[in-house]
Amino acid sequence: MLPFVCIPAIIISLILTIFNFIRRTRGSSFFVVFFTLSLTGLILLNFLGPFALKNKAEKSFDNKDYSQSINYYETLLKNYPNSRL
């Protein structure tokens, strides 16, 4: 995992790069829409996808709620069989 100091620097540099790209080209609105949708999808995947199920399963396991943890892992295997989590 990246250090927490690097993450804001990466985000700020991406924003500045996109802003510079928008200023220089005329057809950059398609890129901005595509990039925004991709970024939104990645953020939603953390809240709704296999990462969220894995985090819930780990929290349940840490809280010694093993039946709930098993249910989360079974759901993860059933709905996301090709996931590498």
Residue ranges covered by each domain of the chain? 8-48, 49-79
Residue 68 identity: Q
- CA-CA-CA-CA dihedral for 34, 36, 42, 44, to nearest 10: -120
Poorest-confidence range of 20-29, 43-52, 55-64, 74-83?
20-29
Tokens at 13, concatenated: 């540099």
pLDDT digits (tens, 9 = 90+) for 3-48: 666 777 878 888 888 778 777 777 777 777 787 788 888 777 777 8
